[in-house]
Structure 1
Amino acid sequence: MNNFWMILSQSYINKFKTKAFIVTTLLVAVVIIAAANMEQIFSYFDDDNKETKIAVIDKTGTMYEPFKEQLAAVADHLTVIQTDQTENQLKKEVGEGTYKGYLLLERTGDGLPTATYKAENIANSQITSGIRQALQSLKTMEVAGRLQLTSEQIQLWNAPASFDTIALAKGAKSEEELIQAQILVYALLFFIYFSVIMYANMIASEVAIEKSSRVMEILISSVSPVKQMFAKILGIGLLGLTQLVIWFAVAYITISNQPEGSLIGSLGLKSISVSMIMYAVLLFILGYFLYATIAALLGSLVSRLEDVQQMMTPLTLLIMVGFFISMYGLSNPESPLITVTSYVPFFTPMILFVRISLLSIPVWEVALGFGILIAAILVFGVIGARIYKGGVLMYGKSNSLKDMKKAIELSRDN
């Protein structure tokens, strides 16, 4: 048993000390901090706080002042300046940077406001959107005047329709809770997807490296292949949990320090339930063990590191399919496809999490999903141990799934 813990600790410590682990952990932590403070970061580079000058040629002689008033209400970062200059003169000043662009105010044949904005480029949608809103408001005011509507009637006209949503099911989530859940699920799905792929490949690569360097021949003489497999799985699993704890701690501290008026504060991410975090952690652990067991047996079938990716392709495709189904489930969690695939063990870690987070499903369905996933881990653990035991003894070109049969036969002979 001492050898088991020695291999486990070595798998953990050796990977923990690598530059790749340290850089990845720090990089993701920085990304989490940056994402939580994105609003403040954008504010440093946002041109909305800077004055943008736009020249205006009012061909009607009456539209400039009311248009300016409406523009100030919807886009206060835009400054319009009326001018009598010709278009050729304005083109020159736009090129020199005096103005961002110039606007032609006119009227249609029906006497309604219309405008044309000209600039070096029109890629800044915030400028054109502000002008369009101001022009629309001006048109609404003029049409209301023609219809002799009072200010109260205009307010009623422009007021949005009242619309509420109420969930009838007992324990169903509110709209605010659903928004919080979708954001968390979206982030955690990406984490589960990339981390499972990364750690599964790490296990398969480590086994292949040991075989190619003939270290495996020394190891199996002192420690059984089955103990080796589970020691590596647990060691790298602890490595993944270490990263998970670090990233969750960084996310918690960063989100907790966000002001109430910030985007994070307005979304209510500070009040995410502990149960959701626990479900995410549990499903990550179980998903890791399922895919890590399969990755270890696949890695034992190859003798060269170059063959690992080819052998891991089917497993990677399974994870990708589960991820894309989960993305679909974010917008339609009640779909029969989501319900059925949440009980397929390869997809359960991601898709069951979508259903738990967005729906109020019975406890027995959650228990069934976890039960199927745990049963699959045990089944693949037994099968994987047998294949791993024979696979580590196989050398030469061995990068086909057909070699599993040969590995099982070898495990029986030893």
Structure 2
Amino acid sequence: MREFWIIFKHAFLSKAKTKSFVITTAIMIAGIFLFANISKIIDTVQTMTGGGDDEQVLYVVDESGQLADRLTLQLSGMKVEQSSESKEALIEKLTSEEIDSVLTLAVDSQGVIEAEYTTMSLMDFAIPMQIQEALQSIQTEMKAEELSLNGEQVQTLFTPIQFEQKNVSPSAKSEDELNQARVLVYVLMFVIYLSVIMYSSMIAMDVANEKSSRVMEILISSVSPVKHMFAKVLGIGSLGIVQILIYGLAGFVALKTSATEVPGGFGDFFSFSDLNVGTLIYAAVFFLLGYFLYATLAALLGSLVSRVEDVQQMIMPMTLLIVAAFIIAMTGLGNPEIGYLKYASYFPFFAPLVMFLRVGMLDLPMWEPLLSIAIMLVTIFVLGWFGARVYKGGVLMYGPSRSLKDIKKAIQLGKE
């Protein structure tokens, strides 16, 4: 076991000390803190540049003579200035950037408000919507006055109905639980997907690099190829877990120390206060199983190539499996009860994402995730046994790698 732990330690530390790993981790942590404080940063930049203190002035041409004053009361957060100039004159000032925006108001013969908003800004979306809502309220008031309705009678016209949705399916969750589960499952699916791709590829690249530099010949003379394979899988896997924990800790600290407060919005959406802790446990279980499944396959494929340049081509079938699993799982975010998801969740290469999606968003009977986990464990065992045989001969193979047909040659070489 001494040789095993030496290789394990080397695989862990050699990758942890690389500049790419350190820089990537630092950039991700900085990005997490930046994202958590993005609103505060935008406000600070606007204050420093003077953009946040400028109040936009809306110039109004009121052809009806009865809407400008009402609009001023409705748009309390915006300065409204009624102009005596013509619309054409104001448009000329607008094009020369002397003013910000122009609003022309009129009332047709049926008492319907006609409005035209003109601006030079390509990204002006919020203000037109605010003006439209204000004018809609004025339109309602005018129609109420025309029909001699008081305020209480107008309110009764907009009384919402009492509508309650219930789901009697044994696998259904409440709406709040489902919304929170959907967010968490979406985030963790990305974590599992990206981690499996990144760390599995890292293993295949590391094995191919050792072969191309002839270091492999020295290693296998003192330790068995089987020990070498599993020590490398566990070493890089442990590094991946540490990196994810660092990201998780950084995210927790960023949210707790964030200077941005969004009441009833983003913070509440990511509170997960009513979420079952079992979802997080399943996320950890399926992440570990998915990693070891694909990492073993990556080590097997990486042992068949002699050049680092051939790694991506050799692991392409494995990458397609991960991508297919991710696409299938994503289609179930809106409706996790789709029939094909149930069958896909028992396929071992799809289970890490698809079964986690189902168990996170549905109240499944215990035997379903346990059966999927058991199938994955058996697959990992079989793949590990088969992969060890291929790896034993594959690390001794040199020359151009043609295809997956080299697996047979690696097994025969391993027997010798």
Q: Scaled by the length of structure 2, what TM-score is found?
A: 0.92
- Give distance in 2, aligned partners of 1:33 and 1:162: 42
Structure 2 unaligned runs (5+)?
Answer: none
Alignment match, 1:261: 263
Structure number having the greater helix percentage: 1
Q: CA deviation at 1:109?
A: 3.8
Kept after mapping to 1: 8 A contact 2:87/2:104: no
Residue aligning to 1:197: 197
Distance of aligned partners of 1:379 and 1:358 in 2 relative to their CA distance in 1, 3 Å threshold: same
Provide the secondary structure at the position in 1 that maps to 2:103: strand
Give the Å deviation of 1:353. Answer: 1.4
Q: Write the letter of the residue equivalent to 2:308.
A: L
Which stretch of the first structure deviates more once superposed, 177-186 or 6-15?
A: 177-186
Q: What is residue 284 of structure 1 aligned with on the other side?
A: 287
Q: Find the residue that maps to 1:269 and give its secondary structure.
A: coil
* Deviation sequence 1:152-185 (CA, Å, 0-9, x none): 2221223443333334356843222222111111
Give me the whole-angstrom Cα distance separating, in 1, the residues matched to 2:152 and 2:43. Answer: 37
Residues 171 and 362 in structure 2, CA contact (< 8 A), matched pair in contact too:
no
Q: What is the rounded CA distance, in whole Å, between the counterparts of 1:156 and 1:372 in structure 2?
A: 59
Q: 1:255 to 1:179 in 2, by over 3 A?
A: farther
Amino acid across the alignment from 2:315:
M
| Cα offset, 1:404, TM superposition | 1.1
Q: Which moved more, 1:227-236 or 1:191-200?
A: 191-200
How far apart are residue 67 of structure 1 and its match? 2.3
Q: State which of 338, 341, 349 in structure 2 corresponds to 1:346.
A: 349
SS at match of 2:118: strand
Q: CA deviation at 1:379?
A: 1.4
Counterpart residue number, 1:65 = 69
Cα distance in 2 for partners of 1:263, 1:257 equals: 17
The separation in 2 between residues aligned to 1:20 and 1:327, in whole angstroms, is: 30
Who is 1:375 aligned against?
378
Q: Percent identity?
A: 44
1:231 paired residue number: 231
Residues 339-368 of structure 1: per-residue CA shift (max 9 Å, x gap): 111111111111111111111111111111
Q: Deviations over 1:307-364 (max 9, x none)?
A: 1111111111111111111211111111112211111111111111111111111111
SS in 2 for 1:69: helix
Partner of 1:363: 366
Q: Which moved more, 1:269-278 or 1:178-187?
A: 269-278
**Given the two structures, how large is their TM-score scaled by the length of structure 1?**
0.92
Amino acid aligned to 1:309: Q
- The residue aligned with 1:174 is 174
Q: Distance in 2 between matches of 1:90 and 1:206?
A: 68
What is the alpha-carbon distance in structure 2 between the residues aligned to residue 24 and residue 97 of structure 1? 44
Residues 226-269 of structure 1, C-alpha deviations (whole Å, 9 max, x = no match): 11110100000000110121112222233345668263432252
Q: Distance in 1 between matches of 2:186 and 2:38?
A: 17
Kindly state the Cα deviation for residue 141 of structure 1 after the two structures are TM-superposed.
2.1
Residue 373 of structure 1: how far off its partner (Å): 1.4
**RMSD after superposition:** 2.2
Partner of residue 395, structure 1: 398
Q: Secondary structure at the match of 1:330?
A: coil
Q: Using the alignment, how far apart are the partners of 2:98 and 2:26 within structure 1?
A: 44
The structure 2 residue matched to 1:323, chosen from 323, 326, 342, is 326
Moved more, 4-13 or 245-254: 245-254
Q: Gaps (5+ residues) in structure 1?
A: none
Q: Which residue matches 1:2?
A: 2
